[in-house]
């Protein structure tokens, strides 16, 4: 199998400012700090591990070019795009829209490059140039709605890629399987009424946004039944994610028969992540990758594109990402998860009753998908 890989130095230049999460503030007692939780170093470290491990030699490197304005306008309002460009023109940049998603001067250009990276990886897979691809893009996108950037997301990279595949590559059915630990509200908002996009999100219940991602949010109009939410109780690890894929995600994909699967892949469901309370380990992400790529082989000639979303542990994101990309490439570099001796015994490997119930409840709503 030929596995595409995409990174760009500018993805490591996203300037997340001097705040930890919210901007620093004397009045609020928020000291400046060297690294914002979403500091790009975390993703750059994953890229460096892909190179230093030698895995890069087994990958087909893809090159991003900026998405065009038209590419982004397929899924975002012009007012949002224009506001991002205006914010990016300011000497110290601006914010995606919710006040806790800062970016520096020219951050708009990097956001266009992230969306362009998603398009390029999708083009390469659909054209058959590569069999599958991993786009290590930044800034992330899955919280960005049609008219608003939020949750560190500026443009919805995955939605841009899906719309490009439908409108420019002639596809008719695209599935999104978002396993970032936070709700994929952006694609749900953008494709709410679209029967051509099956949007599936697994996420820690109420983690972020705290008011969306509930099981009964299933799409509207022509898109009824095309939105699947699997809210999970905090503390879930490898077992509940595997169970959710086997019991809900893969059956939904088999019913919908997409021609392409896009995976907004965040590593913030990992056991060492600061922005959620789940317990997935690197070996768990590896198994999820095997499960969904096997499903892609059965359903859509293996056409699957992974698009980087969240993941905030500079220690553990590289381990998780290496596991996923090794699995995609069918290569083992021999570099094991160095944290396994510490985190391996903490649990998450047995499916607990309340976890099974949460997944089964989401699965009970599946019949609406055809």
Residue nearest to Zn ion (CB): 310
Distance between CA atoms of residues 43 and 45, nearest Å: 5
The residue ranges that bind Zn ion (CB under 5 A) are 180, 182, 266, 268, 310
The residue written with tokens 């224009």 in the block is: 82
Nearer to ligand 3YP, 83 or 203 (CB): 203
Residue 95 near residue 86, CB atoms below 8 Å: no
Residue nearest to ligand 3YP (CB): 310
Instruction: Give the chain's count of helices (H) and strands (E).
Output: 12, 10
DSSP class per residue in 94-119:
EESSSSS-EE-TTHHHHHHHHHHHHH
The one of ligand 3YP, Zn ion, none whose footprint includes residue 152, by CB under 5 to 8 A per kind, is ligand 3YP
Minimal distance in Å, beta carbon 142 to ligand 3YP? 6
Nearer to ligand 3YP, 209 or 368 (CB): 209
Q: And the tokens for 49?
A: 């591990």
Residue 194 near residue 256, CB atoms below 8 Å: no
Minimal distance in Å, beta carbon 300 to ligand 3YP? 25
The Cβ of residue 331 has, within 10 Å, a number of other Cβ atoms equal to 16
The Cβ of residue 32 has, within 10 Å, a number of other Cβ atoms equal to 12
Minimal distance in Å, beta carbon 268 to ligand 3YP? 5
Q: Please, what is the Cα angle at 103 between 119 and 34, to 5 degrees? A: 120
Nearer to Zn ion, 35 or 173 (CB): 35
The one of Zn ion, ligand 3YP, none whose footprint includes residue 143, by CB under 5 to 8 A per kind, is ligand 3YP
User: What contacts 90, CB < 8 A, 6 or more positions away?
Assistant: 105
Residue 12 near residue 44, CB atoms below 8 Å: yes
SS3 of 285, please? helix
Minimal distance in Å, beta carbon 349 to Zn ion? 23
The one of ligand 3YP, Zn ion, none whose footprint includes residue 363, by CB under 5 to 8 A per kind, is none
Q: And the tokens for 140?
A: 């992330």
The one of Zn ion, ligand 3YP, none whose footprint includes residue 217, by CB under 5 to 8 A per kind, is none
Nearer to Zn ion, 124 or 307 (CB): 307
Nearer to Zn ion, 236 or 266 (CB): 266
The one of Zn ion, ligand 3YP, none whose footprint includes residue 208, by CB under 5 to 8 A per kind, is ligand 3YP
The residue ranges that bind ligand 3YP (CB under 6 A) are 100, 142-143, 151-152, 180, 182, 208, 266, 268, 275, 309-310
The one of Zn ion, ligand 3YP, none whose footprint includes residue 267, by CB under 5 to 8 A per kind, is none
Nearer to ligand 3YP, 39 or 123 (CB): 39
Decide if 143 is catalytic: yes
Minimal distance in Å, beta carbon 338 to Zn ion? 23
Minimal distance in Å, beta carbon 38 to Zn ion? 9
Nearer to Zn ion, 42 or 289 (CB): 42
User: What contacts 10, CB < 8 A, 6 or more positions away?
Assistant: 109, 110, 113
For the stretch 333-337, contacts whose Cβ atoms lie closer than 8 Å and that sit 24 or more positions apart, written own/partner, are 333/53, 333/54, 333/55, 335/49, 335/53, 337/281, 337/282, 337/283
Minimal distance in Å, beta carbon 149 to ligand 3YP? 11
SS3 of 71, please? helix
List 47, 76, 80, 143, catalytic entry: 143
**252 conformational bin, left if phi > 0, alpha if psi -120 to 50, beta if neither:** alpha
* Catalytic residue numbers, as ranges: 143
């Amino acid at each position: 199998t030929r596995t595409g890989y995409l990174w760009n130095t500018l993805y490591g230049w996203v300037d997340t400012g001097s705040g930890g999460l919210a901007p620093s503030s004397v009045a609020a007692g928020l000291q400046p700090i060297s690294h914002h939780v979403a500091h790009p170093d975390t993703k750059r470290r994953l890229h460096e591990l892909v190179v230093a491990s030698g895995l890069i030699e087994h990958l087909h490197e893809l090159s991003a070019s900026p998405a065009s304005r038209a590419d982004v306008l397929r899924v975002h309002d012009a007012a949002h795009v224009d506001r991002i460009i205006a914010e990016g023109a300011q000497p110290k940049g601006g914010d995606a829209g919710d006040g806790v998603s800062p970016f520096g001067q020219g951050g708009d250009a990097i956001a266009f490059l992230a969306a362009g990276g998603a398009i390029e990886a999708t083009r390469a897979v659909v054209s058959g140039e590569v069999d599958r691809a991993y786009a290590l893009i930044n800034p992330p996108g899955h919280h960005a709605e049609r008219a608003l950037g939020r949750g560190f997301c500026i443009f919805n990279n995955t939605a841009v890629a899906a719309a490009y595949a439908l409108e420019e590559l002639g596809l008719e059915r695209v599935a999104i399987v978002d396993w970032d630990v936070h709700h994929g509200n952006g694609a749900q908002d953008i494709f709410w009424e679209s029967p051509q996009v099956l949007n599936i999100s697994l996420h820690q219940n109420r983690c972020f946004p705290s008011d969306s991602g509930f099981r009964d949010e299933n799409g509207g109009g022509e898109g009824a039944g095309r939105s699947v939410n699997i809210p999970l109780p905090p503390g879930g690890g490898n077992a509940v994610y595997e169970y959710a894929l086997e019991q809900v995600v893969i059956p939904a994909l088999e019913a919908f028969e997409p021609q392409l699967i896009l995976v907004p892949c965040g590593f913030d469901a990992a056991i060492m992540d600061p922005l959620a309370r789940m317990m997935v380990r690197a070996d768990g992400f590896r198994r999820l990758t095997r499960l969904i790529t096997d499903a892609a082989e059965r359903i859509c000639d293996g056409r699957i594109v992974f698009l980087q979303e969240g993941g905030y542990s500079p220690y553990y994101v590289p381990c998780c990402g290496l596991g996923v990309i090794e699995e995609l490439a069918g290569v083992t570099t021999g570099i094991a998860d160095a944290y396994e001796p510490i985190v391996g015994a903490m649990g998450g490997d047995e499916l607990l009753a309340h976890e099974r119930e949460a997944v089964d409840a989401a699965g009970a709503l599946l019949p609406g998908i055809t």
